[in-house]
Amino acid sequence: MSRVVITGMGLITSLGNDLAASWEGIYRGKSGISEITTFDTSQHRVRIGGQVKSFDPSLYLNCKEIRRNDPYEHLAFGASMQALAQSCLKITEENAEDIGVCIGSGIGGAVTVHEQFRILYEKGPERISPFFVSMMIADGAPGIVSILTGAKGPNWAAVSSCTTSGNTIGEAWEMIRRGDAKAMIAGGAEKSITPICIAAFDNMHALSRSNEDPQRACRPFDATRNGFVMGEGAGMLILEDLEFAKARGARILAEMVGYASTAEAYHVTELSPGGEGLVRAMRRALSKAGLRPEQIDYINAHGTSTPLNDRTETQAIKTCFGAHAYRLAVSSSKSMIGHTMGAAGAVEAVISIMATLTGIIPPTINLHQRDPECDLDYVPNEARRSTVNIAMSNSMGFGGHNTCLIFKQYEE
């Protein structure tokens, strides 16, 4: 099977609207979480989120395209164009059929759904936008990216809750390995901080209500953690067949070497005891990569800041890695940018690759009071300089989904 490398990345988070700004905020341990400003939260118990700030879709799309696409699609296209620009990959008539798109969203066009239901009840069914369906559906993003870039290879969307873009990247990797494509634009986007989404997750008792101190609200692995903070953003990778990338003289950022996806088959929202589904995902990804557990240097954890998730993920890491679990660096980027839902797997894949490129392991901020059951090295509060040859990124989602991705420094 073909070796698959990464040649471009795009990133939009609550800390910045491109890779450079987001990464700087992340390695400096800043928080992008603040009071929600896009709607009136006075009747909500949760009034904080990791909102994308001041993103200008007109940098990437014309006025007509902006009107006809949901804001989550704006983020997806913006991050895709950033990744294509870094990769210097030009899509032409000659290579278009070999280049595909695989982008997912856990919720899809939430902003459009909210607005169109308002119009329905206030103005009637005749006023619903004819573009409502294409703006709402979760496969709108790969569609618009394909249309506007000309990529004619495999084109589809995954929807698997918070593992969505872990799956899109993993399946794009598999497509290239088996020869279905030479290159793929892959990742995820989410913009779901809306009144109904905030209310729904809050009523599930999943969200932190620490409104009085937004930047400290998300505290994975801390004994006082009390729920996740919803975030927004997009992450995109350009994955390429190694020989295709070399032939065009591409700069290779990293190699992707492992991927696995498993099901808990246990409960819609709760994790199985000990996180056995995640254990299987990590072990299978290691096996496909031909790696021993002790070769992993860093894990970007799912780390949501919910009591059960962090404890169970810690147990799963200890089961998979044994004594090496205590030598690993493990951190949660969500402590700074919130939980970007279906985009989380891709956002955190970009962060994992940046750790291999820069030798900087991002921190878990707000970790001051250790949970005795969360006893690994979570890189508390400050980034750490250390060689990261191989990084793993984990995602877990409602419905019992698990994904694991593995990236390594590229070697000839």
| pLDDT tens digits, one per residue of 278-320 | 999 999 999 999 999 999 999 999 999 999 999 999 999 999 9
Q: Which residues contact 254 (CB under 8 A, 6 or more apart)?
A: 5, 6, 353, 356, 357, 407, 408, 409, 410
Tokens representing residue 142 in the block? 């790969």
Q: Of the residues 102, 218, 320, 339, which is catalytic?
A: 339
Q: Tokens at residue 330, please?
A: 């493990």
Give me the half-sphere count of Cα atoms (radius 13 Å) on the Cβ side of residue 300: 34
pLDDT given for residue 294 in this prediction: 98
Rounded to a whole number, what is the largest CA-CA distance in the chain?
Answer: 64
pLDDT score at 290: 98
pLDDT tens digit sequence for 186-231: 999 999 999 999 999 999 999 999 999 999 999 999 999 999 999 9
302 is catalytic: yes
DSSP code string of 297-353? -EEE----S-HHHHHHHHHHHHHHHGGGGGTSEEE-THHHH-B-GGGHHHHHHHHHH
Q: pLDDT digits over 251-262, tens only? A: 999 999 999 999
Catalytic residue among 74, 102, 162, 404: 162
pLDDT at 265: 84
Beta bridge partners of 360: 385
162 is catalytic: yes
Structural domains in the chain, CATH included, are 4-247 (3.40.47.10), 257-408 (3.40.47.10)
| Contact (Cβ atoms closer than 8 angstroms) between residue 65 and residue 143 | no
For residue 17, the one-letter residue type is N
pLDDT at 1: 84
Give 3-state DSSP helix, strand, coil % of the chain, rounded to 5: 40, 20, 40
- As a whole number of angstroms, the distance between CA 386 and CA 395 comes to 23
**Could you tell me the sign of the dihedral formed by the alpha carbons of 25, 329, 163, 229, in that order?**
negative
With a cut of 70, list the residues of the chain below it in pLDDT. none
Amino acid 294 reads E
Q: Are 23 and 354 in contact (CB under 8 A)?
A: yes
Asked whether 16 and 24 are in contact (CB, 8 A), the reply is yes
Residue-level pLDDT at 337: 98
Structure tokens at 310: 């962090």
- CA-based Rg of the chain, rounded to a whole angstrom? 20
pLDDT score of 271: 78
Which is the catalytic residue, given 74, 302, 374, 401?
A: 302
**SS3 label, residue 267:** coil
Q: What is the pLDDT of residue 267?
A: 84
pLDDT for 105:
97
Mean model confidence pLDDT for the chain: 97
Which residues have CB under 8 Å from 3's CB, separation 6+?
241, 242, 255
Of all residues in the chain, the percent with pLDDT exceeding 70 is 100
Task: Tell me how far CA of residue 133 lies from CA of 112, 130, 137, 252, in angstroms.
Answer: 9, 7, 6, 38
Name the residue with tokens 């989410």.
Answer: 190
Q: What pLDDT does 306 receive?
A: 96
The two structure tokens encoding residue 320: 């998979």
Residue type, 37: T
Instruction: Count CB neighbours of 109 within 10 A.
Output: 27
CB distance 190 to 233 below 8 Å = yes
